[in-house]
Amino acid sequence: MLEFYSSSTRVVDSKKAIAECLENALGGKENLDCDLIIFYTAMGHDFKDILTEAHRLSPNAQIVGCTCAGVIGKEGVSESMKALAIMAIRGENNEFAVASKEKITGSSSYEVAAQLAQDLKNKNSKINMIHFVASGIDIAADRAIEGMESIFGPDIPIFGATSSDNMKAISSFQFIGDQILERGAVAVGLADPRLEVITQANHGFVVAGMPLEVTRSESNRVFEIDGYPAWKRVTERLGLPETARLADTIPIGALAEELPGELHEEYGNTHILRVIAKKQMDGSIYMPVDCPEGTKLWLTKRDEKRIFDGLDRMVEQIVNRCGGRQPLAVFHADCGARGRLLFNRVLKDEIVSRMQYPLCKDEDVPWLGMYGFGEFARTGGRNRFHNYTTALYVIVKRNK
C-alpha cells in the first residue's frame, strides 16, 4: 500500500530546504529514497536547485510540483517567499503514474487535459484518483475536468489546484522530472485499490445585488458584461476606478454563479465563486471557467462568520465520511483570502488549526497544502472547480 510522508520549511537556501524537507519527512539522512515527491514552492526559491538536489538525494523518485503563494503543512502555515512543502510517497511502480503537458490555455483546456489523462491511462489503466495542478493564469478549469473525464469517466475523483505566483497573476510554474514548465499541467494518478479520497470544499461569501450578464465572450475570456467592456463594468459595480489593479478586487471582487438547488445544503451555499484570473489592456477579463454569453454572475461579499461556520461544518462532514478511519494523508488547496482579518492582514493559523485538529487529533498525519488560484473538489458527486474555498482531500483506507 502507498505510504505518505510530509514536511515543510522556510529555509532560505533552496538545496538545504528540499534536503530538510526530505530528512524530516522520511526520518533522517540515512534513508531518503522514495518513489514519488510532490512539492509546492513559493516564488522565491531556485526551482532548478530544488529539482537537482531532490534527484541527488532520492535518485529513484519521480518528482512533480508547482508554484504557489504559500504552503500549509502539518507544521502550520508559511507565506514566506521561501516556503516549501513536500509529500513523499513510497510504493510500487504499478500504484501510481505521472504525466505532464507543456502548455494549457483556456481554449485548449479540454484537449490538453484529455491528452494528459490518456497519457496517465496508457501508463496505468487502474488509476482511481488524480491529483492535478495546472497554470492558474489562463485555464478553463471546467473544460479541463471534462477532458480528463472523457478518458477516465466522471466517477474518478480529481483533486488539486491551479498553481499561482505571489498573487500577482503574472506567471506560475509546474515541475516534472527536471523540467520547469511555465504554463503547463501536471497530473499524478494514484492506483492503489485499497485507498480512496474524500474531497469537499467550502467558501464564506454571500451574494449581493442583481446579477451581471456576460454579453460577449470566447471560451473563458469575457469581453463584455451588460454590454460594456467587462473590466469597466465589474469595477464600476464594485465602486472602484477602472484603473484598479486586479489585486484591489481581492477579496471584494469575487463573482459567483448560482448552483442547482439540490447542492445548496451539501455545499453550504447557494452560489459557487469565480475569481478573475487576468485582465487585458482592451478591458477583457479571463475567468477560470468557460463563460458563455448569457452567463449570470453575481457580486459577493466576504462573511467571516460564514467562513468559519462553514469550515467547521465541512470538517465535521468529512470526519463523518471517514467513519472512524484514520487519514493516511491530507492534500489541501486553499485561498489566501481566507482567515480572520486583523490590521489589514488575513490571519490563517486559526482556520488551519480548525481543520487539522478534528481530522488528525494528535496523530502525525502527512499534510500537503498550498495557497493557489483555485481548487478542484467534488460536489454533488461531480468534479468541480472552485475559488476562494478551503478544499480538503483526505486519503483513507477503503472500507472492504
pLDDT at 168 over 80: no
Residue 337: the pLDDT is 86
Mean pLDDT of 69-77: 96
Residue 261: the pLDDT is 94
Residue 345: the pLDDT is 83
Pairing mode of beta strands 71-73, 158-163: unpaired
**Under a CB-based contact definition with an 8 Å cutoff, are residues 183 and 103 in contact?**
yes
Q: Which amino acid is at 345?
A: R
Residue 249: the pLDDT is 79
Residue 203: the pLDDT is 95
Give CA–CA dist 80/42, Å, rounded: 7
Lowest mean pLDDT among 44-53, 109-118, 218-227, 333-342: 333-342
Range of the domain at 11: 3-201+308-397
**187 and 267 share one domain:** no
Each residue's pLDDT tens digit, 320-345? 999 999 999 999 999 988 988 887 78
Residues 6+ apart with CB under 8 A from 52: 15, 178
**169 and 209 share one domain:** no
Q: Which sign, positive or negative, has the C-alpha torsion 308, 341, 278, 392? A: negative
Given 268, 302, 336, the domain boundary residue is 302
**218 and 246 share one domain:** yes
How many separate domains does the chain show? Answer: 2
Neighbours of 382 (CB within 10 A): 11
**343 and 392 share one domain:** yes
Q: Give, in order, the Cα–Cα distances in Å from 383 to each of 9, 174, 186, 187.
A: 31, 22, 17, 15
Given 302, 334, 356, the domain boundary residue is 302
Each residue's pLDDT tens digit, 11-54? 999 999 999 999 999 998 888 999 999 999 999 999 999 999 99
**183 and 315 share one domain:** yes
What percent of the chain is predicted at pLDDT more than 90?
A: 87
**252 and 340 share one domain:** no
Residue 93: the pLDDT is 80
DSSP character string of 61-127: -EEEEEE-S-EEETTEEE--TT-EEEEEEE--GGGEEEEEESB--TTTHHHHHHHHHHHHHHH-TT-
Mean pLDDT of 69-85: 96
Write phi, then psi, for 175 (nearest 5 degrees).
-135, 140
Pairing mode of beta strands 329-334, 367-371: parallel
Which of the four pLDDT bands, split at 50, 70 and 90, describes residue 92? confident
pLDDT at 400 over 80: no
**170 and 41 share one domain:** yes
Give the angle 289-378-195 at the CA atoms, nearest 5°.
Answer: 135
Neighbours of 227 (CB within 10 A): 9
Mean pLDDT of 155-164: 97
**Under a CB-based contact definition with an 8 Å cutoff, are residues 374 and 387 in contact?**
yes
Give CA–CA dist 69/265, Å, rounded: 31
Mean pLDDT of 101-124: 97
Residue 116: the pLDDT is 98
Residue 61: the pLDDT is 97
Which of the four pLDDT bands, split at 50, 70 and 90, describes residue 167? confident
Mean pLDDT of 332-359: 92
Element housing 312 (H / E): helix 304-322
Residues 6+ apart with CB under 8 A from 343: none
Given 272, 302, 332, the domain boundary residue is 302
Neighbours of 210 (CB within 10 A): 10
Q: What is the DSSP letter of 278?
A: E
pLDDT at 362 over 90: no
**295 and 313 share one domain:** no
Q: Read off the C-alpha cell for 347.
A: 490571519
**230 and 81 share one domain:** no
**258 and 115 share one domain:** no
pLDDT at 154 over 90: yes
**143 and 182 share one domain:** yes
pLDDT at 251 over 70: no
Which of the four pLDDT bands, split at 50, 70 and 90, describes residue 253? low
Give CA–CA dist 376/200, Å, rounded: 9
The mean predicted confidence, pLDDT, of the chain is 95
Mean pLDDT of 217-241: 95
SS3 357: helix
Give the angle 90-121-53 at the CA atoms, nearest 5°.
Answer: 40
**209 and 284 share one domain:** yes
